[in-house]
């Protein structure tokens, strides 16, 4: 590995920070920060802000009245043009009380606890990358560090903040957990999460059934048609995961509802399946029933581009110089990296420390990967061209 003086200084600074990274990780894992727990998310943000302030890095809070506040830190850079964006989310999928029930623990170099890999370890790693530049003379290009508060519910409040931060970026590294294989993610499916409300007309099911219009009947017909949209060969999946309806067993159901999870590989598939779902929802069958989409959230897909492939090649070469091998993986899971890629920013995902078991009590993070993954991210920024990329936008629908 041939390093210049600047690279050696940054990597050496990070090499001594394993214990400090683990200490900060323990502190934020101990804070419940489920996606609907704004106070908890904001407490995590306060800890991160304190850590950045201690390194002399200014921060800005982008407040939201209902969701967790976003935290943005920015470092100036030497080169003009595009900037680097380090991205991560502070929220988890776990309810209040989980941090006390399953506290942060380390055994044989493996850390456990709610959100330890997804993605509090990635947040810690990103912070230390920024601190490494601050401590060794500054970043080679302008550097933005964004910590968001609602990724696990499809980023309804932070999406515009993420897109704004990514526009014009030379590169985006999203520190979702590295795969259990040690790989990063170069492609992700997009997702739609839709809630549909169906109304009918109530009637006594024994005395005057003909006067009713069953919302459950309508729901059942729609479910069959929705599931028929699934195309596994093309990578499009449609799953009605929740369904409910009715008021009593002897009443023709006046209301029903369902929730749909939709996944797709690219923007064309997203638009096609969305149009088909809207047509099914609009059908008034049987007569006297109606349906509408009442909640609509989702992620854009992370689709490989030439710029994204070049970023992966750069990162993989940096990883080799650090001492580990990495390949790119595809996953059906979705993330904020789809938003950054869709505005034209070269994006690489799952650059965080290696972990697994996300969203389960078995979630873990390999602490021995924290420093090497931080070093690989820092070296990628040091070696990246700083040219500004074109600004584009792909709409969700």
52: pLDDT strictly greater than 70 = yes
Confidence at residue 397, expressed as pLDDT on a 0 to 100 scale: 43
Contact 77, 171 (CB under 8 A): no
User: Does 155 lie in the same domain as 19?
Assistant: yes
User: Does 165 lie in the same domain as 195?
Assistant: no
Confidence at residue 393, expressed as pLDDT on a 0 to 100 scale: 53
User: Does 276 map to a domain?
Assistant: yes
pLDDT in tens, 194-251: 999 999 999 999 999 999 999 999 999 999 999 999 999 999 999 999 999 999 999 9
Of the chain, the percentage scoring pLDDT greater than 70 comes to 97
User: Does 313 lie in the same domain as 223?
Assistant: no
Mean per-residue pLDDT for 39-67? Answer: 97
384: how many CB neighbours lie within 10 A of its CB?
22
User: Does 289 lie in the same domain as 374?
Assistant: no
347: pLDDT strictly greater than 80 = yes
396: pLDDT strictly greater than 70 = no
Confidence at residue 23, expressed as pLDDT on a 0 to 100 scale: 98
User: Does 341 lie in the same domain as 366?
Assistant: yes
The long-range contacts involving 155-161, CB below 8 angstroms and separated by at least 24 positions, are: 155/89, 155/299, 155/336, 155/339, 156/67, 156/297, 157/64, 157/66, 157/67, 157/70, 158/64, 158/67, 158/70, 158/89, 158/336, 159/336, 159/339, 161/62, 161/70, 161/72
CATH number of the domain encompassing residue 254: 3.30.70.360
Confidence at residue 81, expressed as pLDDT on a 0 to 100 scale: 77
User: Does 336 map to a domain?
Assistant: yes
- Nearest of 87, 57, 81 to residue 140 by alpha carbon: 81
Which of the listed residues 269, 284, 299 is the one where a domain comes to its end?
299
| Mean pLDDT, rounded, of the chain | 96
User: Does 54 lie in the same domain as 22?
Assistant: yes
User: Does 388 map to a domain?
Assistant: no
Mean per-residue pLDDT for 98-111? Answer: 98
User: Does 151 map to a domain?
Assistant: yes
- Name the domain count of the chain: 2
User: Does 204 map to a domain?
Assistant: yes
Q: How far apart are CA 173 and CA 315, in angstroms?
A: 10
Q: Which residues are catalytic?
A: 91, 151
139: pLDDT strictly greater than 80 = yes
Confidence at residue 386, expressed as pLDDT on a 0 to 100 scale: 67
User: Does 113 map to a domain?
Assistant: yes
User: Does 172 lie in the same domain as 57?
Assistant: yes
Instruction: Give me the domain span that covers residue 202.
Output: 190-299
User: Does 194 lie in the same domain as 156?
Assistant: no
User: Does 200 lie in the same domain as 184?
Assistant: no
User: Does 49 lie in the same domain as 160?
Assistant: yes
User: Does 36 lie in the same domain as 161?
Assistant: yes
Of the chain, the percentage scoring pLDDT greater than 90 comes to 95
User: Does 280 lie in the same domain as 225?
Assistant: yes
**pLDDT-based confidence at residue 2 (cuts at 50, 70, 90):** confident
Report pTM.
0.93
**pLDDT-based confidence at residue 183 (cuts at 50, 70, 90):** very high
User: Does 390 map to a domain?
Assistant: no
User: Does 91 map to a domain?
Assistant: yes
């Amino acid at each position: 590995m041939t390093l210049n003086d600047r690279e050696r200084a940054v990597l050496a600074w990070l090499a001594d920070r394993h214990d400090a990274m683990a200490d900060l990780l323990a502190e934020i894992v101990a804070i419940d920060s489920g996606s609907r727990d704004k106070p908890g998310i904001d407490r995590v943000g306060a800890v991160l802000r304190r850590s950045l302030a201690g390194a002399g890095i200014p921060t800005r809070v982008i407040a939201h009245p209902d969701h967790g506040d976003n935290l943005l830190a920015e470092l100036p850079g030497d080169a003009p043009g595009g900037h680097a964006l380090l991205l991560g989310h502070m929220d988890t999928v776990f309810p209040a009380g989980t941090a006390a029930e399953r506290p942060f623990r380390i055994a044989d170099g493996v850390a456990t606890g709610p959100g330890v890999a997804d993605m509090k370890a990635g947040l810690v790693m990103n912070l230390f990358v920024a601190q490494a530049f601050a401590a060794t003379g500054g970043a080679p290009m302008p550097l933005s560090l964004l910590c968001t508060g609602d990724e696990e519910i499809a980023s309804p409040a932070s999406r515009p903040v993420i897109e704004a931060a990514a526009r014009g970026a030379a590169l985006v590294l999203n520190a979702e957990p590295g795969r259990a294989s040690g790989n990063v993610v170069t492609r992700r499916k997009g997702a739609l999460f839709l809630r549909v409300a169906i109304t009918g007309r109530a009637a006594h099911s024994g005395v005057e059934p003909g006067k009713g219009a069953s919302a459950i009947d309508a729901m059942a017909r729609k479910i069959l048609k929705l599931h028929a949209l699934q195309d596994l060969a093309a990578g499009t999946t449609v799953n009605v995961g929740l369904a409910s309806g009715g008021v009593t067993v002897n009443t023709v159901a006046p209301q029903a509802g369902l929730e749909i999870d939709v996944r797709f590989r690219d923007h064309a598939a997203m638009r096609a399946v969305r149009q088909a779902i809207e047509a099914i929802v609009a059908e008034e069958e049987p007569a006297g029933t109606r349906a509408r989409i009442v909640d609509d959230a989702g992620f854009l897909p992370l689709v490989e581009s030439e710029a994204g492939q070049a970023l992966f090649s750069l990162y993989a070469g940096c990883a080799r110089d650090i001492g580990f091998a990495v390949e790119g993986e595809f996953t059906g899971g979705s993330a904020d990296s789809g938003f950054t890629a869709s505005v034209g920013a070269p994006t690489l995902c799952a650059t965080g420390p290696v972990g697994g078991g996300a969203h389960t009590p078995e979630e873990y993070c390999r602490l021995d990967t924290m420093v090497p993954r931080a070093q690989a991210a820092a070296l990628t920024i040091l070696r990246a061209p700083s040219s500004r990329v074109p600004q584009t936008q792909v709409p969700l629908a």
